Chains A and B, each alone.
Chain A
Amino acid sequence: MPEEAVLLQMDNIDKMYPGVRALNKVSFTLRRGEIHSLCGENGAGKSTLIKILTGAEARDGGDVFLDGIPIFPRIPMDAQRLGISTVYQEVNLCPNLSVAENIFIGRQPRKNRWGIDWKKMNRLAEAAMARLNIRMDVADALGEYSVAIQQMVAIARAADTNAKVLVLDEPTSSLDTKEVRQLFHVMRTLKGQGMGIIFISHFIDQIYEITDRLTILRNGSFIDSGTIKELPRMSLISKMIGKDIAAGVSHKDGREDAQAEKKEFYSAKRLGKRGLISPVDMAVKYGEVLGFAGLLGCGRTETARLIFGIDRPDDAAIKVKGQRVRINSPADAIRCGIGFCPEDRKTDGIIANLTVRENIILALQGRYGMFRRIPFARQVEIANHYIKLLSIATPGCEQLAGNLSGGNQQKVILARWLTINPELLLLDEPTRGIDIGAKAEIMNIVVRLAAEGKAIVFISSELDEVVRCSDRVLVFRDRSLIGELKGEVNTRRIMETIAYSGQEEAGG
């Protein structure tokens, strides 16, 4: 590739956040007229790199060259002026304004000092959309169009500011298949016009369909970069996750032998929701840890939310202990004996300004209802019991839960569910953001609970952990269930399943 083809060059970018090295000498090269995927799991540094490129964050070290000229964008406006435009996941336009107004907001063509030249603006907007091969009435309010079209308008707006570099951050996550086609068509059109496009997506299929080259980051470091041909799916996934293909064997000692005799607690047929996850057939047995594996956004959390009734499944046949039930709300699920530790501890789990005691008894009290209050002394007794059982580090049960460390907050939520003595416990990323010691403790608790006969669904982006805890693993990709692994589960088999659609997994 000749040197002049390089459009954007980021060399040895460093970025420190308090206590964390977000980027460690990361380099990234974007060429003219290419679509380049930036790949990595949570915390890999993708968004930090983009923020530095767009001027939303200042870099601590390294150089950025655009067309060979060093640039120092300090605010997003700087980057935009230089020709670097970004379209974020959520369309941040004004739905009540017209399409043309949205495209030209802040830079409307003027008639004279005071007036806006509406005719010219609409004409220019039509031209901008036509460049993306979209014909539409630009005087209509943006909100009248579908999300996909709104996304196109955002792109048109970005592409119109004489952009050389276009960053698309998860643009497809709210689009359906047809709309994705439309978007890809637009991306190819822009690519043909010589624009360099940075594409971030967690849909592996889409990455392989549209991109020319990709760069992989992991834990803030540059891992690899190359063309699609040089990086087949298997090596992309193993590089993203960071596991040697050979490593990671199940640590259980023949526990799966006993699986056959165990009774089914929960089963679901066609558990799915349009636009969220395609229908899944699954079952969990007593005393079994069922792992959900897959990359970020693959549908594992969505499935757990459907099981727990947070989102209503479209049309599912759910059985608990062999009985047909309807689960349309968390309260329904709790009544069936299901508990759920959510992925986002802060917004969905812990209630920071209630005490540890109140947090622990909340679900139990919720089941008792308003008028059968658990006497205070009993509340203290329950709280202290679980503080001891799970070794929660807190000065006392009257401490505000928000003052505890992440790992201890996680244990408080675990305790909340243990109080209702659930038969099925859904654990979504129970080990995220907590230190190594606490991780091991939580995994031990999980295995112990299963040994006591509880059914557990264990969701983690750490394949190691899934392998270590689970008796059986369901593998998800691109919002659908693509395979089930039984017997000798290891990270290699999981990664192969993720990479190759699961048709070949039967061999195992």
Chain B
Amino acid sequence: MDKLKALARRKEMLSIAALVLLLLFNVFFTPGFFSLELKEGHFYGSLIDILKRGAPLMFMAIGMTFVIATGSTDISVGSVAAIAGAVAAQMIGGDFSAEAGSAAASLTPLPLAIAAALVVATLCGVWNGFLVSRLGIQALIATLMLQVAGRGIAQLITRGNVITMYYKPFFEFGTGYFLGFPICIYVVLAVALAAYLFSKKTSYGLFLESSGSNRSSSRYAGIKVQTMIWVAFAISGLMAGIAGVLIASEVKAADANTAGLNYELDAILAVVLGGNSMKGGRFSLPGSLIGALLVQALTTTIYMKGVPAQTILVFKASVVIIVGIIQTTDYKKLLGRFAKKQASGNFEVGK
């Protein structure tokens, strides 16, 4: 019973409950939401769709979790994704005329192109981290620079063009299937597991939580708080890079203007929905992933209900407001009072 209570008090519970509620809603009101079809050995359906479309967001949410745990935010992730996509596309090459149709080759070996994209994205994160941890610029402002400039950089890389790619192996990441499920889902799982192990099997998680909870105490305890923040931004850059490569692979092109657009807000939303406090400190990676799924499920549900796409932001905003209210201390107090009242109504109090 105590274990159950402790489980119910875990911060991820709110997002899980919301996700379950949303799925329940779909059971009754969205016909065909849960149908899974097996076509040519691949599963198709809204659920698979949510996982697949939510993949870039989940990557970004992983990185954003670390950044938010330090009490900062990284609003450059969307632009960094665009840069990573542009680097990958530029190296793989988009010259259709030079090739004989669909059997186009890559200008650079594929692993090298992807590695280059991820290195560039990580460097973007290192830059952000430098601004925040070494120069002491507020995270919102520091990352705003790259958010704005990043798309310009991506355009410089692609020379202002939308680079369309024709090299098939690259598309596997975004569109391929393995054992009936999209490949990107496996990659999400693997990266999430790696991030989780990194936070738990090294002391990074502890240092991050202590730095985010109480900077001064952590410094006094000999923890290099600035370095921890720096690492968090680097991870966020790397994750945005993976997301950017995935997006490019999925749409088979690099568009500096639209790739990863507005993702930073969804990523922050996912992390907060996952029960993580914007003030920093304790964090939960599983929570953020569930938060990301919730955001994607909400988006998919709205589309499937035939709600005009323009109003989607209104729905997201409503969810944010509701969750925001639920997470405030005032609401928790109110809830606590309510629970107490119920207890005194149902049971004998005292002796």
**Contacts A351-B213, A354-B213, A370-B204; A362 near B282 (Cβ below 8 A):** no
With CB as the reference atom, state the residue of chain B lying closest to A365: B203
Is there contact, CB below 8 Å, between A331 and B218? no
Whether, in the assembled complex, B134 has its beta carbon less than 8 Å from a beta carbon of chain A, the answer is no
Is there contact, CB below 8 Å, between B210 and A351? yes
**What's the minimum C-beta distance from A82 to chain B, rounded to whole angstroms?**
36
Interface centre among A350, A363, A366 (most CB of B within 10 A): A366
Comparing B33-41, B71-79, B220-228, B325-333, the segment that makes contact with chain A is B220-228
Q: Note all chain A residues with C-beta closer than 8 A to B190.
A: none
Is there contact, CB below 8 Å, between B219 and A330? yes
With CB as the reference atom, state the residue of chain A lying closest to B281: A353
Is there contact, CB below 8 Å, between A365 and B214? no
**Contacts A347-B216, A351-B214; A369 near B203 (Cβ below 8 A):** yes
Is there contact, CB below 8 Å, between A365 and B220? no
Interface centre among B217, B218, B221, B282 (most CB of A within 10 A): B221
Q: Please tell me which one of the listed residues A334, A348, A372 contacts residue B216 in the complex, with CB atoms under 8 A apart.
A: A348
Whether, in the assembled complex, B209 has its beta carbon less than 8 Å from a beta carbon of chain A, the answer is yes
Q: Note all chain B residues with C-beta closer than 8 A to A61.
A: none
Whether, in the assembled complex, A352 has its beta carbon less than 8 Å from a beta carbon of chain B, the answer is yes
Whether, in the assembled complex, B207 has its beta carbon less than 8 Å from a beta carbon of chain A, the answer is yes
Q: Please tell me which one of the listed residues A308, A333, A352 contacts residue B213 in the complex, with CB atoms under 8 A apart.
A: A352
With CB as the reference atom, state the residue of chain B lying closest to A366: B222
Complex alpha-carbon distance, A146 and B13, angstroms = 53
Q: Please tell me which one of the listed residues A348, A350, A362, A371 contacts residue B223 in the complex, with CB atoms under 8 A apart.
A: A362
Whether, in the assembled complex, B206 has its beta carbon less than 8 Å from a beta carbon of chain A, the answer is yes
With CB as the reference atom, state the residue of chain B lying closest to A402: B213
Is there contact, CB below 8 Å, between A368 and B216? no
Q: Note all chain A residues with C-beta closer than 8 A to B214.
A: 347, 350-352
Is there contact, CB below 8 Å, between B203 and A373? yes
Is there contact, CB below 8 Å, between B202 and A371? yes
**What's the minimum C-beta distance from A297 to chain B, rounded to whole angstroms?**
20
Whether, in the assembled complex, A349 has its beta carbon less than 8 Å from a beta carbon of chain B, the answer is yes
Q: Please tell me which one of the listed residues B206, B210, B220, B281 contacts residue A310 in the complex, with CB atoms under 8 A apart.
A: B220
Complex alpha-carbon distance, A367 and B217, angstroms = 15
Q: Note all chain A residues with C-beta closer than 8 A to B218.
A: 351, 362
Is there contact, CB below 8 Å, between A363 and B222? yes
Q: Note all chain B residues with C-beta closer than 8 A to A478.
A: none
With CB as the reference atom, state the residue of chain A lying closest to B231: A370
Complex alpha-carbon distance, A290 and B125, angstroms = 47
Q: Note all chain B residues with C-beta closer than 8 A to A347.
A: 214, 216-217
Q: Note all chain B residues with C-beta closer than 8 A to A350.
A: 214, 217
Is there contact, CB below 8 Å, between B216 and A373? no
Render B38-74 as a binary contact track against A, CB cut-off 8 A, 1 for contact.
Answer: 0000000000000000000000000000000000000
**Contacts A331-B224, A350-B217; A358 near B206 (Cβ below 8 A):** yes
**Contacts A330-B222, A366-B222; A353 near B282 (Cβ below 8 A):** yes
Whether, in the assembled complex, B340 has its beta carbon less than 8 Å from a beta carbon of chain A, the answer is no
Whether, in the assembled complex, B337 has its beta carbon less than 8 Å from a beta carbon of chain A, the answer is no
Can you add 7 more A-B contacts, CB < 8 Å, to A351-B218, A366-B221? Answer: A331-B222, A349-B220, A351-B213, A354-B210, A354-B213, A365-B206, A372-B203
Contacts A/B (CB < 8 Å), 28 sampled: A308-B220, A310-B219, A329-B219, A330-B220, A331-B223, A331-B224, A347-B216, A347-B217, A348-B216, A350-B214, A351-B213, A351-B217, A352-B214, A353-B213, A353-B282, A354-B206, A354-B209, A358-B209, A358-B210, A363-B221, A366-B221, A366-B222, A368-B203, A370-B204, A370-B207, A371-B203, A372-B203, A373-B201
